[in-house]
Amino acid sequence: MSDARTGLSFLMLAAGAGERLGLGPMDFLELAGRPLLCWLADKAMQVADEVLVVVPADRVDATAALLPGCRVMAGGATRQDSIAVLATQARGEWLLVHEAARPFASLALFRQVIDKARQCGCAGAFLSPAVPVARLRDGRVVEAYAGSEVGIFQTPQVYARADMDRMLQLRDAVPGWHAESPVQRALAAGIDLHAVPGEAHNIKITTSEDWEIAQHLGHLLA
């Protein structure tokens, strides 16, 4: 086992119902002849000591059969609940969070984010929009940023165990606060998070348009 994998738990989020896509749980859809989960698990086992996966409760047994090298469990009611389930069960001192709906993230990106986190404490992939962006409020532009000053959230994200514990404590201390990404909780907890350049093909499959694009990118999985 390589040093890079030591102490790292890969937390895979695959508990969504895929309602926006309308084809059932998206992580079980097939690309290039295999379910998305299988392609991602192959990569996960190359970078981590252990791989933990949350899926809908009625898919636990089927997923465990698909992914014999992984620990499979039922997800929580929300994305943040699912992260808490995974983090609580993980044994590693480093926790890599990744969405199964992003199967095209490269091994190189995983390793870059892991390396940066080991150097700095926490790190995540962020894609530069390459164009200026604006912050909006009530339909009005209130602030503008150069493309070089902002990044679009992606996964993987890697957190030190102690920092993830702080994030989970914040989750319990502020009931009802909804964070779309662990990044928001990290920042709210005062945790420094370092950015690694993301990948344009590291798309999140959410809509039917995303699924069409994914089918054209299938060759990147093999």
Q: What is the pLDDT of residues 105-133, one digit of tens each?
A: 999 999 999 999 999 999 999 999 989 99
Query: Within the chain, how many helices (H) and strands (E) appear?
Result: 7, 11
And the tokens for 65? 């059969």
Asked whether residue 175 carries a pLDDT value surpassing 80, the answer given is: no
Would you state the pLDDT for residue 169? 86
**Which residue in 120, 130, 117 sits closest to 10, CA to CA?**
117
Distances (CA, A) of 157 to 58, 97, 109, 112, 206: 27, 5, 10, 11, 19
Compute CA 172 distance to the chain's CA centroid, rounded to the nearest angstrom: 21
Q: Which residue stretches of the chain are H helix?
A: 36-47, 60-66, 79-89, 107-120, 161-173, 182-188, 208-216
Q: Are strands 8-13 and 50-55 parallel, antiparallel or unpaired?
A: parallel
Q: Which residue stretches of 52-160 are H helix?
A: 60-66, 79-89, 107-120
Tell me the residue type at 21. Answer: L
Q: How confident is the model at residue 4 (pLDDT cuts 50, 70, 90)?
A: low
- pTM greater than 0.85 (yes/no): yes
Would you state the pLDDT for residue 1? 38
Residue-averaged pLDDT of the chain: 89
Would you state the pLDDT for residue 23? 64
Q: What is the pLDDT of residues 26-64, one digit of tens each?
A: 667 888 888 889 999 999 999 999 999 999 999 999 999
Cα angle value 126/107/91 (rounded, 5°): 90
